[in-house]
Amino acid sequence: MAGALEPSSVYNHAAAIENPWGWAAIHATFIAMASAVGMANWKLNELARHRAENYYKRLYEGELAVVQRLEEVDRVKGELVAAVSHEFRTPLTVILGLARTMADPVTSGRVDVADFAGRIHRQGRRLELLVENLMQAERPIEVGGSCDAGPAVDAGIQVARRGSEQAITDVEVTVAADQRIALSPFGANVVISNLVSNAVKFADPGTTVEVSVHPLQTGGTVVAVSNHGPEVPPQLSAKIFEPFVQGDSSNTRAADGIGLGLHLVHRIVTANGGHVTVTSLGGVTTFSVWLPPPREHVLTGVVQLDPSEASPTAN
């Protein structure tokens, strides 16, 4: 505007002074082009900055995930070493102590050999089951198959009985007639024996562990194992199926085990299309295994059970 009103104060050559509006338009065009170039350069810089930020963010998140994974591996390794060393030390101490007593000429004549031999056998069986659980945790899960519920429950209870120092005598079993479950005999044995062992481990003395198998309206099956004892804390329920997780991880805990039993139950059941739930109310804790229908199952004479009523004994 100044160049148009007073050309000589802005321009220093005759052509511009004679045609100030034309030269003003030329200058405005150059300024607009320079501004456009500046805006484009700013936009490109912003895009490059955002790309760099996103790249470094992804790089940081990737490195953080690796660090967290390494920390988790280190945590699991530490828990494994602590649990295994504790669980192996107890039966080994008992076995060595009993064997030393039997071998001592002074005390050997006063011991009940049959009783000592039975105790050594139970502790050896306990070690064997610990090793089997460790090996099973690394094996591929067997998927498919089905078996009769009654014999599977009986076999699972017998396995739990052989691996426990506690007397498993008060187990109440309720199995629907001709009921089949969508697990192989081996998978059912691992699932039921670990659930029963866990229930007996935390049951109050003198109480009954209850095992039930009932059909669902969908054709599937629910296997429920209940015990009367300490309730499972809510914070533990969320991670109870993770490996090496225990309610009490101290070296002075009363319950034995390395925290793999429930993890194995969860792995086997989910691999076969089912899921596991835990409810703990009013001093009764129930682990319920919800399984799909066996492939050969025919939908007849079933009853309807809801997850909120996983076991008649849970209420």
pLDDT of residue 274: 94
Question: Helix, strand, or coil here: 212?
Answer: strand
Cβ-contact 131, 141 below 8 angstroms? no
At 128, is the secondary structure helix, strand, or coil?
Answer: helix
What is the rounded CA–CA span in Å between residue 264 and residue 4? 89
Question: What is the per-residue pLDDT for 181?
Answer: 93
What pLDDT, on a 0 to 100 scale, did the predictor assign at position 137? 66
3-class SS of residue 59: helix
Task: Give the angle 114-115-120 at the CA atoms, nearest 5°.
Answer: 95
- Looking at residue 289, its pLDDT comes to 96
110 close to 236: Cβ distance less than 8 angstroms: no
Which residues are CB-neighbours of 270 under 8 A, at least 6 positions away? 276
pLDDT at residue number 202: 86
Instruction: State the pLDDT at residue 12.
Output: 59
Tens-digit pLDDT profile for residues 67-119 = 877 776 666 666 666 666 667 787 888 889 988 888 888 887 888 888 888 88
Q: What is the pLDDT of residue 63?
A: 81
CB 262 within 8 A of CB 240: yes
Q: What is the mean pLDDT of residues 250-261?
A: 54
Buried b (16+ CB within 10 A) or exposed e, 181-193: bbbbbebbbbbbb
Joined tokens for residue 113: 């050999």
How far is the first Cα of the chain from the last one, in angstroms, to the nearest whole number? 91
117 or 300: which carries more pLDDT confidence? 117
Average predicted confidence (pLDDT) for the chain = 77
* pLDDT over 50 (residue 238): yes
Cα atoms in the 13 Å half-sphere on the side-chain side of 192: 30
Whether 225 contacts 195, CB under 8 Å: yes
* Amino acid present at 158: Q
Instruction: Please say whether the beta carbons of 134 and 260 come within 8 A.
Output: yes
User: Can you tell me the distance from the alpha carbon of 61 to that of 67, in angstroms, rounded to the nearest whole number?
Assistant: 10
Please give the pLDDT value at position 161.
79
Q: Is the pLDDT of residue 272 over 60?
A: yes
Per-residue pLDDT for 249 more than 80? no
- Residue spans of beta strands (DSSP E) within the chain: 147-148, 171-175, 180-181, 209-215, 221-228, 275-281, 284-291
- Between helix 20-103 and helix 113-138 the angle, nearest 10°, is 160
pLDDT range class, residue 253, cuts 50, 70, 90: very low
Question: Using N-to-C axis directions, what is the helix angle for 185-202 and 149-162, rounded to 10°?
Answer: 50
Burial letters for 65-89: b for 16+ Cβ neighbours within 10 Å, e otherwise?
A: eeeeeeeeeeeeeebbeebbebbee
Q: What angle do CA 43, 26, 13 make, to 5 degrees?
A: 135
Alpha-carbon gap, residue 183 to 220, rounded angstroms: 11
What the block records as the tokens of 228 is 């009367």
- 313 pLDDT band (50/70/90 cuts)? very low
